[in-house]
Amino acid sequence: MFKVTAYERLTTNEYQLWIDAPRIAARAKPGQFVIIRMDETGERIPLTICETNPKDGQIRIIFQVIGKSTAELAEFKTGSELLDVVGPLGTPTAIKNYGTVLLVGGGVGIAALYPTVKGLKQAGNRVITVLGAKSKDILILRDECAKYSDELILMTDDGSIGRKGLVTEAMEDVFNREQIDQAWAVGPGIMMRFCTQVATKHDVPVYVSLNPIMIDGTGMCGCCRVTVDNHIRFACVDGPEFLGAGVDWDSFMQRMRQYRVQEKQAFEQYEQLRQVQ
């Protein structure tokens, strides 16, 4: 069992857990993730490790409630115990000194981007970070990212903080005034797709973090398969990071929508049951 040592509701639908997992905390690197199972009948939930504290044996997870399983996870407050936390999984981000790097995060994807921002700054890079969200109230980890960024650009749909507009607009501005050696984009699939288009136009390689359905997280089941450079890859072991220019975005987006009806039905049933109770 894995104890939740700290719980916080960050925004309306985003939550933070610190979990006691010493072996994971000692080994995890930027870009890696864990798979959480709440109980014996629970769904396996892949979540990127946002931060680690090896000294105290803690890992930090930030997630958004988007369905039944994440709604259930949001009920695991301080002192609760999770049945399984498996990890660290996936291939770590290639942290090294590239020169000047651009990192773009959208929504809850900022939580997955943050350890890469930190790692790249500590590796000696000049770090330019762009964070985007619908509004100020749901733009997470601003202060943390600012600490490890030479320049932080905030974008919101409603203009409530930073500039009003999309992260791709900020990318264009940066590319037009800076020589960027490497870029990363982490967020919703559609955001990463358009970030890839902008970076490719400026001949800058961009890594994206793909989050398809996963079950075992070790490449056995094949549920997380994605097409990259016309080859089948498994996001859980070959990724989750891939160069965006090689991703078959049409097939990826289609797979992400595959169980949307079933997910909606399960969430509605869960909400109805909660109201009865």
Residue 35 CA to residue 67 CA, distance in Å, equals 16
Residue 30 CA to residue 115 CA, distance in Å, equals 5
Binding residues: 62-64, 221, 224, 236
Q: What is the pLDDT of residue 105?
A: 97
Sign of CA dihedral 59, 62, 98, 125: negative
Q: What is the pLDDT of residue 251?
A: 87
Residues lower than pLDDT 70 in the chain: 259, 267-268, 270, 274, 277
CATH architecture designation of domain 210-260: Ribbon (2.10)
Type of residue at 24: I
Binding residues for [2Fe-2S] cluster: 221, 224, 236
Q: What is the pLDDT of residue 147?
A: 97
Domain ranges of the chain: 2-89, 93-196, 210-260
Q: Are 170 and 163 in contact (CB under 8 A)?
A: yes
Q: What is the pLDDT of residue 216?
A: 75
Task: Classify domain 2-89 at the CATH topology level.
Answer: Elongation Factor Tu (Ef-tu); domain 3 (2.40.30)
Q: What is the pLDDT of residue 23?
A: 97
Q: pTM for the complete prediction?
A: 0.91
Binding residues for FAD: 62-64
Q: What is the pLDDT of residue 270?
A: 61
Alpha-carbon 194 to chain mean position: 17
Q: What is the pLDDT of residue 267?
A: 66
Q: Which CATH code of 3.40.50.80, 3.20.20.20, 3.40.50.720, 3.20.20.80 fits the domain covering 93-196? A: 3.40.50.80
List, in sequence order, every beta strand (DSSP E) within the chain: 2-9, 14-20, 33-37, 45-53, 58-64, 81-82, 84-89, 100-106, 126-133, 151-156, 163-164, 182-186, 206-209, 225-228, 231-234, 241-243
